[in-house]
Amino acid sequence: ALLGVARLRRRGGAGVEPLGLGFVLALVAGSSGLFVLPFVVPGVHAAVTAASSGFAQTMSDALGVPGNPLVWSAIAPLGLIVLLYGVARLRPALAGFAYGVAGTLLFAAIAGTVDVSFVPDVLDRAWLATHAGIAALFGTAVIHRR
């Protein structure tokens, strides 16, 4: 995400939304969550576990369906963008979330850590990589000023 944003700014930063804390927080929430939280907070509570995982893992755990294809896809960033794109102040956060989810999906595709339900095993990595690219495109589209 950071490389993509830096590249966009170098090519013509005037057409890019200004980024801030919302972008960073959404990027962390979409990708890895506060993964150091269990090491800082003694004891494991449900809230600590949820906050210490990224969006896809937290939602999979909450729904009780590991590898849910709706969660391990670009649908969540798309849904948030469709609902909240009209709020200009939220666009950097929407882009950060989309980039964060893209990072999670790409990592899962490369590492082979997720078995996507209802998708043949030989297509799991292709599913994840394709949706990572789509989520990154959503993030790029949102961050451009119109």
Whether 32 has a pLDDT exceeding 80, the answer reads no
Whether 27 has a pLDDT exceeding 90, the answer reads no
Single pTM value for the model = 0.81
What pLDDT is attached to residue 58?
78
Whether 45 has a pLDDT exceeding 90, the answer reads no
Buried b / exposed e across 64-77, counting CB within 10 Å, b at 16+? eeebbbebbbbebb
The mean predicted confidence, pLDDT, of the chain is 81
Which are the contacts of 4, defined by CB distance < 8 A and separation ≥ 6? Answer: 99, 136, 139, 140
Cα–Cα distance for residue pair 143/20, rounded to 1 Å: 12
With cut-offs at 50, 70 and 90, classify the pLDDT of residue 118: very high
Q: Please, how many CA atoms are within 13 Å of residue 78, restricted to the half-sphere of its CB?
A: 12
The torsion angles phi and psi of 128, rounded to 5 degrees, stand at -65, -45
Under a CB-based contact definition with an 8 Å cutoff, are residues 106 and 96 in contact?
Answer: no
